A and B are shown apart, each in its own frame.
Chain A
Amino acid sequence: MTTDDQLAAEYVLGLLEGEDLLMARGRIAREPEFAQAVERWDGQLAPMLDDVEDMTAGPELWARIEAATIATPEGGAQVIALKQKLRNWQIAGTASAMAAVAALAMVVLAPNQPGAPQPIAAPAPLVASIPIADTPLRLGVTYLPDRSEMLVSASGLSADGVHDHELWLVPEQGELQSLGVVVPGQERRIVLPQNVAANIADGSALLLTREPLGGKPAGVDAGPVVASGAFSAT
């Protein structure tokens, strides 16, 4: 058995944690062959679930599910749109290299860039809670539209000394915009430049990628996507 095949099986069984798990997630997102090995193990082990005894859930459960789906009537369509965007981004990966550096620089240098589109004023904060793969880790993101201020809480994450994780906004149009490197175990507060803030709305998608220390270097593709989520109004 190859090392990759072994890793795929370990991932499927849920034996991995921490950085090993994030790495496996990243490889699934990036390497079709590895993703296929995972799928193969999933399929081979699934029949173990066949002889778990059936149980009947309470009759009110369907009503709860139906109510929740009515609350999000768009269903699958929204996700298809996001996937399309992701694909476009992956194609344009290299070009977005400069954006990461530029966005971070502007936090310090030019918080009020003249001529940028004005953000749509929304008094309620937007929040996103991003589960990281099959780990108990969760990244908390809060955005205060009136102040263009973002809080990123990474209290579950730990640093491995080799990688950093970088948070990205998926705008309605155009390329991904960096929201900066996530500091493990800390809460970070930053003021976003207007060209980034203007793209944040209820439903805006977020991605987390694994990068070398210091974030994605200019001129190379972004690292593997290890988690994703979306802002929603509180």
Chain B
Amino acid sequence: MKTATTQAREQLKKAMQRLADGDRAALEEIYQATSAKLFGICYRILGDRKEAEDALQDVYINLWQRADRYDPARASPISWLATFARNRAVDRLRTGKVQRNAVPVEEAAPVPDAAPLADAMLIDAERSARIHSCIETLDTNQRTAIRTAFFEGQTYAELAEANDVPLGTMKSWVRRGLAKLKTCLEAEG
């Protein structure tokens, strides 16, 4: 399993490098390997299938135009792509093109016993476990705010309004949560 994971990641890394050199065939390879995961992320953030498809299209076209942004020495390719897709989807929310069908974040939290993922080979299970156990150590207020910002692209002002608390209160919840998260991530690292 470890070997298969490493192989899958190395193969994706190579495809990303070929893409940066302008090889269009590499884009199709990357799409086949990652689109189910990235589409899931776009849908999770946008809450609408059509919008998520547009966002996904935007992700791969942007990747084609700017493949050189990925630095293979620094990040795992799937983590980088997942972050990239998340950021593009959040951008899309912000430009006001989308009215999100608000699903409360705790309700929309992932099902732990999901069927095996098509691209599970690419997922870095160790790091996943660390952030998840760390985020569980936060107070509910802190955790919910951080997760909502991450998955719904809400700003401080929006979070404060949605929770009906002063902006300063929201900032202090998040900041205390981040400090705690950092300590935890580093302790286990």
Residues of A whose CB lies within 8 Å of any CB of B are 1, 5-6, 9-10, 13-17, 39, 42-58, 61-62, 64-66, 68-70, 72-80, 83, 131, 134-136, 138
Contact = CB atoms under 8 A, between A and B. Distances in A.
A76 B36 contact: no
A15 B155 contact: yes
B12 to A, nearest CB: 14
B149 A15 contact: yes
Nearest to A9: B178
Given A6-B178, A46-B82, A134-B91, A64 B155 contact: no
Contacts of B57: 61, 64-65, 68
B183 to A, nearest CB: 8
B79 A56 contact: no
Category for how many chain B residues contact A: 35 or more
A153 B53 CA distance: 30
Interface in B27-53: 27-28, 31, 35-37, 39-41, 43-44, 52-53
A131 B60 contact: no
B187 interface: no
A53 B114 contact: yes
Interface string B105-120: 0000011101001110
A180 B91 CA distance: 27
A76 B123 contact: no
B50 to A, nearest CB: 10
Contacts of B15: none
Given A13-B149, A15-B155, A65-B60, A136 B39 contact: no
Given A6-B179, A15-B174, A48-B151, 6 more contacts: A10-B156, A15-B154, A16-B155, A51-B128, A62-B35, A75-B65
